[in-house]
Amino acid sequence: MVTSNSKSYFRSVEQSHRKYNAALRRARGRQTAMNIYWRHKREHEALLRRHLKEEMTELNQIKKKFK
């Protein structure tokens, strides 16, 4: 199910990947590229963690209706 939270998550991920790809194109060396990757990975994990927390909240609200 695609909710408004999902749409927001997908937009955030798309924006993050655009920024990551642009930074990689500008990278001048191996270490710079690796630093860009690690920064992107941290950002992506934080987005996913936030998204999953929001989905769990929605799921708990739905579960309460069945009690």
Convert the pLDDT of each residue in 15-44 to its tens digit: 999 999 999 999 999 999 999 999 999 999
19 contact partners, CB below 8 Å, separation of at least 6: 40
**The pLDDT of residue 67 is above 80:** no
Mean of per-residue pLDDT scores for the chain: 93
**The pLDDT of residue 4 is above 80:** no
Percent of the chain with pLDDT over 90: 85
23 contact partners, CB below 8 Å, separation of at least 6: 36, 40
Q: Which pLDDT score is estimated for 7?
A: 84
User: Which residue's entry shows tokens 């309460």?
Assistant: 64
Give this prediction's pTM.
0.80
Within 13 Å and on the Cβ side, how many CA atoms surround 24?
11
